[in-house]
Amino acid sequence: MDYIRLISVPLVAGAVVYVLWLLGRSRPREADAMPSGVGGGRPAGSGLTQMSAAIAVLAMACTLVLAVMMFRDPPAMVARANTTVDLGPMRFILAFRADALSTLVVLAAAGIAFLVTLYSVRAMAEHPRAPVFFAWVLWTVAAVLTAALANNYLLLVVAWEVATVGLYLLVSMGHPRGRAGAMKTFAILGFADVCLLLGVVMLVHTQGVMNSLSLIDKVGGNDTATPVLAVAYVLMTVAALAKAGAMPLHTWVPAASEHSPTPVFALLPAALDKLLGIYLLARITFEVFAVSAPLATVLMVIGAATILLAVMMAMIQHNLKRLLAFHAVSQVGYMVLGMGLAAYVLAVGRASPDGITAAQAAVATVAFCGGLFHMLNNALYKGCLFLMAGSVERVTGTMDLDRLGGMARSLPVTFVCGVVAAMAISGVPPLNGFVSKWLVYNGALAVGSGLGMVCLVVAVFGSALTLASFIKVLHSVFLGTRGSAVPEGDARQESGWMAVGMVVLAVACVGLGVVAGPAVGRLILPAAEAAGIPVAGIEAAGWGGLALRGGAGLWEPSTATVLILLGIVVGGLVYLYSRALRVRVVDNFVAGEDSTSDELWHVSGTHFYETIRRLPVLRTLFSDASAEAFDPYRLVGRYGWTLVEQLRAWHTGLLAVYASWIIIGLVVLVTVLALG
């Protein structure tokens, strides 16, 4: 019953909100005569909007409480007789299961959803269809919770699909120009859903007719050395990676980001979709299948490539949301890399005659925990960053970095939260992003292959580039002189509702980093065990998160941390010293021109990395032509169009031609039947 209660809370609340909106809309109102959005006043349905927002926040709070209860005390698996569906040759049970991995995802999803809903109370207040937004958010959250708790492929696929539809509907609620992006999102994720369905069908088919469709039937028994199972695994992985936004199916993330409402993006592509995708990847890679070493290597390469290429795209963006979207893609790389490393080590261990050794199990655990912890951390800091962007957008009305600047005074809370989240995503100790990346690095170091070292270098380099691009963001948005889109004056422009979400997320970033050891021990290690990782011999200890029982193994991050902190202190000293120097301050003199305006002296950060863009090799990579070559959606569009043109040429519209085709087909059919 616990499962049904948890899922039905957002489901029912969403239905209530939607019905309220339908009833409220049908009533004629005088204010409707005025086009909404004119004059900046609140739109006509503001009472309705407030009511639906209140319902949504309450429902999310209830969901969060239930999720916490479920996490603390996971209920038993439901498999009652009346949930059995009998379809003659196939019988299956609509069962739920709450192990440590599922409940971790549920907890994170409910927490983020609650904060984003709080934030949306203010952010969506002026949207003409705000109640619909809340209804769809509630339903999507219900679908995500169902997918995370399902112990049945049918439930999983259906919930997965509902989440896709919810994302599409929510993205298309933004600017009308965002329709193309929404369509792209729907097309790519729809393709991913088909892949998932095909993979499930192939897997179930190989398992026999009387299968219960249970997610976990024989643990790790599906060796991907069998070609059919390998194809099934690849198909399901494609679905997981597309949902999480890893390359090469990542292109929907930036396309959807630009015109969708900011809370939508903070909620779904940045947080919940990542949770779902990585959850499925962890489930199938370690529990359902026994992945072979070549496939695991492919996962590692995908992870490393995603980290590097996406972050390089992020560096050169001029639109804040698009930049953050590329970072959302880039961060998936660390999770996929962690999972791939763990799968590779386990595959090597299984292939060797004496099985998985303790050292290999330890490396796999470290890498997997890194990936999984990064999933959790990413949801926190990426959510915080998108809320920061939304807060900026509310004040200025634009996301163009060239027109922003000097907003630290008017948005101090946003600024501080943005700095914390930016440092967390860049992996600066002692924040949470550092700990999870550290674990992934350790896994890559210990995996003991050349490719592991390459992945390590790429991951570290990607992390450095992340920091570089966030320096650009922080400078262009918050520092420097006032941008052209920023309103005059230093008055505080924070909104309380929006600040709460950001502050909580930023505090969580700091908290999970500072108490990383207990956090990993309580949250991540049980989840790793539930996913089928041999965690024996590993315990959460010290600040670094994990330690091998019995000493040797992990590098302690303390030295690196001390060095970094030392660097920061030295930097501060240099800064203080330069402040102490006497500097002659004079007015600018530009040949008698008026030089007092901020606009004249506005230096945006967007050109920090123009040099990189113009480097010989990278120039071709960054060009539009190569962007198209990297985008499967556009490739399919172009070659699909060629196919359509060919088919059009065949359609002459002549009766005689169609009749000839029919007769030829008939002749072929008769010949085949006669000869066969």
Partner 1 sequence: MTLQMVPYMLTFLLLVAGLYAIVAKRNLVKVIVGILILDYAANLLLVLTGYRTPPAGQAPVAPILTGGAAQAQELAATAVDPIPQALVLTSIVIGLSVAALVVALAVRLYEKYGTFDTELMRNLKG
Enumerate binding residues for partner 1 (CB under 8 A).
647-656, 658-660, 663
Structure token digits, residue 657: 């031609």
Nearest approach, Cβ of residue 655 and partner 1 (Å): 5
Nearest approach, Cβ of residue 668 and partner 1 (Å): 15
Q: Could you identify the residue written with the tokens 């918050």? A: 478
Please identify, using beta-carbon distances, which residue of 569 and 657 lies nearer to partner 1: 657
The residues near 33 (Cβ < 8 Å, ≥ 6 apart) are none
Please identify, using beta-carbon distances, which residue of 577 and 650 lies nearer to partner 1: 650
Per-residue CA distances from 93 to 85, 153, 193 (Å): 6, 10, 22
- Residues 388/266, Cβ–Cβ less than 8 Å: no
Nearest approach, Cβ of residue 633 and partner 1 (Å): 24
Please identify, using beta-carbon distances, which residue of 575 and 661 lies nearer to partner 1: 661
Shortest CA distance to 325 belongs to which of 260, 394, 403, 275?
Answer: 260
Structure token digits, residue 420: 């914390």
Shortest CA distance to 21 belongs to which of 106, 125, 119, 128?
Answer: 128
The residues near 583 (Cβ < 8 Å, ≥ 6 apart) are none
Please identify, using beta-carbon distances, which residue of 22 and 664 lies nearer to partner 1: 664
Please identify, using beta-carbon distances, which residue of 581 and 654 lies nearer to partner 1: 654
DSSP structure class, residue 551: B
Shortest CA distance to 516 belongs to which of 539, 541, 543, 535?
Answer: 543
- Residues 372/528, Cβ–Cβ less than 8 Å: yes
Helix axes 273-282, 100-123, angle to 10 degrees: 170
Please identify, using beta-carbon distances, which residue of 591 and 649 lies nearer to partner 1: 649
Nearest approach, Cβ of residue 452 and partner 1 (Å): 53
Please identify, using beta-carbon distances, which residue of 626 and 652 lies nearer to partner 1: 652
Q: Residue 73: how many CB atoms within 10 A of its CB?
A: 10
Please identify, using beta-carbon distances, which residue of 570 and 663 lies nearer to partner 1: 663
Q: Going by DSSP bridges, is the β-strand pair 222-223/289-290 parallel, antiparallel, or unpaired? A: parallel
Per-residue CA distances from 95 to 1, 83, 143, 209 (Å): 11, 7, 15, 19
Cα 191 to Cα 465: distance, rounded to the nearest angstrom: 31
Q: Is 591 left (phi over 0), alpha (psi -120 to 50) or beta?
A: left
Please identify, using beta-carbon distances, which residue of 574 and 670 lies nearer to partner 1: 670
- Residues 200/217, Cβ–Cβ less than 8 Å: no
Nearest approach, Cβ of residue 649 and partner 1 (Å): 7
Nearest approach, Cβ of residue 306 and partner 1 (Å): 40
Cα 485 to Cα 319: distance, rounded to the nearest angstrom: 14
Cα 276 to Cα 274: distance, rounded to the nearest angstrom: 5
Nearest approach, Cβ of residue 502 and partner 1 (Å): 54
**Kind and range of the H or E run holding 562:** helix 558-580
Nearest approach, Cβ of residue 647 and partner 1 (Å): 7
Please identify, using beta-carbon distances, which residue of 591 and 656 lies nearer to partner 1: 656
- Tell me phi and psi for residue 84, to 5 degrees: -85, 130
Q: Could you identify the residue written with the tokens 């049918």? A: 154
Nearest approach, Cβ of residue 638 and partner 1 (Å): 19
Nearest approach, Cβ of residue 670 and partner 1 (Å): 13
Structure token digits, residue 423: 């440092």
Nearest approach, Cβ of residue 645 and partner 1 (Å): 9
Please identify, using beta-carbon distances, which residue of 649 and 674 lies nearer to partner 1: 649
Nearest approach, Cβ of residue 610 and partner 1 (Å): 47
Please identify, using beta-carbon distances, which residue of 76 and 655 lies nearer to partner 1: 655
430 upstream amide cis, omega within 30 of 0 = yes
